[in-house]
Amino acid sequence: MTSLLPATAVAHPNIALVKYWGKRDEHLMLPCADSVSMTLDVYPTTTTVQLRPDATNDVVIMDGRFLRGESSQRVTRFLDLVRTQADSRDRVLVDSRNTAPVGVGLASSSAGFAALALAASKAFQLSLDHRALSRLARRGSGSAARSVFGGFVHWHAGTDYAPDPDFASYAEPVTDTRLDLALLAVLLDTAPKPVSSREAMRRTMTTSPAFHRWLAATRTDTALMRGALRAGDVQAVGEIAERNAMGMHAAMEAAVPPVVYRTSASHHVLRQVRRLRAAGERMWATMDAGPNVKVLCLPGDAARLADQLRRLSHRPVLVARSGPGATLHRGEAR
């Protein structure tokens, strides 16, 4: 007999230092390559899941509004996986609250599905270890596999030769580093994405002649990134992250039709980052599926560099640090 107590979980978005771009299996959400990220301490998502055994459908509320259409179906398909694991047919009420402004470009789906995986598995009384939780979160959104953990995180692509490829792809924390990084996000644009990252990934994989070269480089970058983190070498971490992200965007832009997230404002900030670096500043750029430029630096330099970027871009700059993994809020009554 399942408990009807609601379960609430909190998770944070993460920024990839070696990017995930391309799935080798869309159904199982298996990535083409490993990736490495840092979970952030900003913009948590809080999600409550409550079983509704007598109901005939799931109800999903996001930021106070009922979710409908494809977004709601995506959540229901994810909940079906949880129901299968729990051997239950119970429908649920999901109430999810994001704190990130829309379009801020810090993959809210990473925090969203990590929080949902934890809250739903608790509501259905599944006892999943962290690795199993990461596998489950992956099925909602690839990058969510990494937000299960705090700090630096390595998501293993796994292998199709494994007896169960689904089982072989999970994230785990990077424990052999003492490096502490900050992330500055230059908020250039909050308009909706011209192309969803899921579609953009698919198009890049299937049509971009540059994709396979980027993928091969990414496989090397993961090993180099792990070494740089272990050595606490901020310069190597920054250089690998910047080249990996710029290579990903170059591959997207070579897709047919092109996937272009970098705007003239993004290029302006990228140039300022290179200029300040040439003047001796330790800062490196990364970008995701949107126009905002994010900058990696040491925490001690963050406030000063954020001020410089505000002055040069005339845009808001957010300062983030390393954040925690997904956590459960126990026993609250609603």
# chain residues binding ligand DP6, by CB under 6 A: 15
Give the CA distances from residue 292 to residues 7, 25, 191, 330, in Å, rounded to whole numbers and listed in that order.
34, 28, 11, 36
Residue 143 beta carbon to ligand DP6: minimum distance, rounded to whole angstroms: 3
Q: Is 49 or 171 the residue whose CB approaches ligand DP6 more closely?
A: 171
Q: Is 29 or 174 the residue whose CB approaches ligand DP6 more closely?
A: 29
Residue 18 beta carbon to ligand DP6: minimum distance, rounded to whole angstroms: 8
Among 6, 13, 20, 182, binds ligand DP6 (CB under 6 A): 20
The reply on whether position 241 binds ligand DP6 by CB under 6 A is no
Give the CA distances from residue 313 to residues 143, 194, 332, in Å, rounded to whole numbers and listed in that order.
29, 22, 44
Contacts of 204 (CB under 8 A, 6+ apart): 21, 22, 211, 251, 252, 255, 259
Among 90, 95, 242, 288, binds ligand DP6 (CB under 6 A): 288
Residue type, 85: Q
The reply on whether position 39 binds ligand DP6 by CB under 6 A is no
Give the CA distances from residue 110 to residues 37, 70, 98, 114, 272, in Å, rounded to whole numbers and listed in that order.
11, 18, 11, 6, 29
* Binding residues for ligand DP6 restricted to 141-160, rule: CB under 6 A: 141-143
Q: Is there a cis peptide before residue 257, judged by omega within 30 degrees of 0?
A: yes
Q: Is 40 or 309 the residue whose CB approaches ligand DP6 more closely?
A: 40
Q: Is 144 or 269 the residue whose CB approaches ligand DP6 more closely?
A: 144
Q: Is 94 or 107 the residue whose CB approaches ligand DP6 more closely?
A: 107
The reply on whether position 292 binds ligand DP6 by CB under 6 A is no
